[in-house]
Amino acid sequence: MLLCGYFCGGRSYSRSKHVPFESGIESTGNSKVRFSVKFYLIGMIFVIFDAEGIYLYVWSVSVREAGWMGFIEIFIFIIILLISLVYLIRTGAFNWVETSLKNENSNKTCLNVDNVLKLLKEYDR
C-alpha cells in the first residue's frame, strides 16, 4: 500500500511544501513547550492507581467465586494502596508549590495581587 501511494500519488516540489503548518496557518514561536516534571509524575501516579482500580473492578465482579480468601487478598491489596497513597502525600508528590515558598508565605494572612504575582515569578524559576 505504501509503494502504491508513492507511485500513484501526486508530487509537488514548491518551496512551501516543506514548511510545517497547522490548519493552513504558519506557525509562530517556539514549538518546544517546557512542561514541569510534576505533570509526568502525576501522570505516572494516575496510571498506577488507575490500573489498580481495574483490578478492584474485576474482583467485585467475581466476589462470590473468590470467597473469604479473595476478600482477605483484596483487603491486603487495598491496605497496600492506602499505604502507598499516604507515602505519596507525605513525600509531597502532590504539592505543586515548593516548601520554601510555602514557608516564606505562611505568615501572611491574605494574598493580594502583588503577592500572587511575586509567587508566580518565583515558581517559574
pTM for the whole structure:
0.51
Contacts of 122 by beta carbon, 8 Å cutoff, 6+ apart: 101
Q: Mean pLDDT of residues grouped by 10 in the chain (125 residues)?
A: 82 70 67 77 86 87 89 92 90 73 52 68 68
CA 121 from chain center: how many Å?
23
Please report the pLDDT score of residue 111 as a whole number.
Answer: 54
The secondary structure of residue 23, as a DSSP letter, is: T
DSSP letter string, 61-115? HTHHHHHHHHHHHHHHHHHHHHHHHHHHHHHTTT--S-HHHHHHHTT-S---HHH
Upper half-sphere CA count for residue 73 (Cβ side, 13 Å):
10
Please report the pLDDT score of residue 106 as a whole number.
Answer: 53
Please report the pLDDT score of residue 109 as a whole number.
Answer: 47
